[in-house]
Amino acid sequence: MSNSISILGLGLMGQALAGSLLDAGHQVTVWNRSAGKGDDLVARGATRAATVAEAVAASPLVIVCVLDYAAVRALLTDVPLTGRVLVNLTNGRPSEARETAELVAGRGGDYLDGGIMAVPQMIGHPGALILYSGSQTAFDGHRDTLATMAEPRFVGADPGLAPLLDLAMLTGMYGQIAGVLEAVALVASEKVPVAEFTSTLLVPWLNAMASTMPQLAEEIAAGDYSTDVSNLEINRVGVANLVLAFEEQGVKPDLLLPMKAIIDQRVARGHGAEGLQSLIEELR
């Protein structure tokens, strides 16, 4: 079934979103702040709107994907949203999502916030995921259209939930990248081929460790800080040794130092017999 969708913002992501909707046969109206973007979308059948108001008027479903929420709010100033579902796929914070939901409701619109767990090249292909939160009615009503861009997953009525989970997933990713960068730097200090080390040793190890994370999360949820794997005192000695090895190899251990500091702090408070999951207490 062909539906009408308007896309505000034709950056790399906005263009990918619009392209996937066009490919699926939908009627797509596009708007971008500056000229010169979206010509290929228009050539593929999209309609170009001259103003935000014109784009919003063109479709019941309006997707916005721009730099930040300040830009989203500025775009929507004085634009009537009655009868419109606004899906905001701009990256932001939970507090910003809640504020924007109120702004949209105040203009008579229905709001969905979204967190895109994909790069533009993945949009419209299996493996792309978008988290949504906010109006369940809006999600249910447009689920099939949203599924064109990426697997749509509704995570709750609080609009702040999708950005919260999005940021949490990015946090896990940055932690992993930090570990990989340090590991590769250490290996490269002895001129070991880093690509081979990464594919044959590091990634299988990270995958094995990743498979233990749900258990760690269950223990945190249960407040169970016991361990039969390795306690914090053993980890304190291990990480101190690791940092010394970096120094001896002439490599900066900077991305590891916060982890060392928090382990040291927890042990100094008398919790050396607990497992790594108890470090969560130092973060709360």
Ligand X SMILES: NC(=O)c1ccc[n+]([C@@H]2O[C@H](COP(=O)([O-])OP(=O)(O)OC[C@H]3O[C@@H](n4cnc5c(N)ncnc54)[C@H](OP(=O)(O)O)[C@@H]3O)[C@@H](O)[C@H]2O)c1
Q: List residues binding ligand X (CB under 6 A).
A: 9-14, 32-34, 37, 65-67, 71, 74-75, 90-91, 116, 119-120
Residue closest to ligand X (Cβ): 11
Structure tokens at 124: 């419209």
Q: Name the residue nearer to ligand X (CB basis): 9 or 275.
A: 9
Beta strands in the chain (DSSP E): 4-8, 27-31, 47-48, 61-64, 85-88, 110-117, 129-134, 151-156
Cβ(129)–Cβ(154) below 8 Å: no
Other Cβ atoms closer than 10 A to 29: 21
Residue 65 beta carbon to ligand X: minimum distance, rounded to whole angstroms: 5
Question: C-alpha dihedral over 37, 91, 136, 169, to 10 degrees?
Answer: 130
The residue assigned the tokens 């050539």 is 43
Closest to ligand X by CB, 13 or 28: 13
Q: How far is the CB of 127 from ligand X (least distance, A)?
A: 13
Closest distance of CB 133 from ligand X, Å: 15
Whose Cβ is closer to ligand X: residue 65's or residue 263's? 65
Q: From the CB of 15, what's the least distance to ligand X, in Å?
A: 7
CB of 275 to ligand X, least distance (A): 34
Alpha carbon distance 268, 271 (integer Å): 7
Nearer to ligand X, 115 or 253 (CB): 115
Q: Rounded to the nearest 5 degrees, what angle is found at the Cα of 45, between the Cα atoms of 84 and 88? A: 30
Question: Shortest Cβ distance from residue 163 to ligand X (Å)?
Answer: 10
The number of helices, as runs of H, and strands, as runs of E, in the chain is 13, 8
What single DSSP character describes residue 140?
A: H
Name which of 89 and 186 has its Cβ closer to ligand X.
Answer: 89
Q: Which is nearer to ligand X, 16 or 183 (CB)?
A: 16
